[in-house]
């Protein structure tokens, strides 16, 4: 953890000239942004090996009144508990700024809604099995 999941209306996969966007690039930019967020002690907030950004286009959707080709992007960051509210706020502001910058070129071309939510809470079960973290451990 942390995991950032993006759900978006499928027409955003169109070429930029048609009001679309490079969602793969958005994922990379958001992951890099997450890795740059610092905690209250000035240390990297999210572990490199645990940072994931996943995006899923909606093949079927209904946005607003449906009278135009409205686009929507929903980002949900799930992080473990224990981080200060100020740190959570910094992470949210950084991710939203990154997302806004990414969509700025098409913002004037098409109606688009962007929502970012951060969920923090106690896990009922938190099982992990991976060999990624050792790749980024500093000796």
Rounded Cα distance, 139 and 120, in Å: 30
Share above pLDDT 90 across residues of the chain, in percent, rounded to a whole number: 71
Per-residue pLDDT tens over the stretch 25-36: 999 999 999 999
CA neighbor of 34 nearest in space, from 21, 17, 51: 51
What CATH number does the domain containing 53 carry?
3.30.429.10
Task: Give SS3 for 114.
Answer: strand
Whether 80 contacts 123, CB under 8 Å: yes
Tokens 């997302």, located at residue: 99
Domain range for 101: 3-136
Whether 10 contacts 61, CB under 8 Å: yes
Per-residue pLDDT tens over the stretch 91-137: 999 999 999 999 999 988 889 999 999 999 777 777 777 877 777 87
Pairing of strands 71-79, 3-9: antiparallel
As a whole number, mean pLDDT of residues 53-77 equals: 94
State the total domains in the chain: 1
Q: How confident is the model at residue 139 (pLDDT cuts 50, 70, 90)?
A: low
Least confident of 7-16, 61-70, 78-87, 118-127: 118-127
């Amino acid at each position: 953890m942390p995991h950032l999941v993006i759900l978006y209306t499928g027409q955003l996969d169109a070429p930029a000239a048609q009001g679309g966007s490079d969602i793969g690039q958005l994922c990379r930019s958001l992951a890099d942004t997450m890795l740059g967020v610092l905690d209250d002690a000035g240390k990297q907030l999210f572990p490199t090996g645990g940072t994931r950004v996943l995006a899923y286009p909606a093949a079927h959707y209904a946005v607003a009144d449906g009278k135009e080709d409205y686009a929507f992007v929903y980002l949900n960051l799930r992080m473990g508990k224990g981080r200060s509210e100020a740190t959570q706020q910094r992470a949210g502001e950084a991710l939203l700024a990154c997302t806004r910058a990414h969509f700025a070129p098409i913002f004037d071309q098409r109606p688009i809604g962007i929502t970012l939510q951060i969920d923090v809470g106690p896990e009922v079960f938190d099982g992990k099995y991976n060999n990624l973290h050792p790749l980024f451990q500093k000796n």
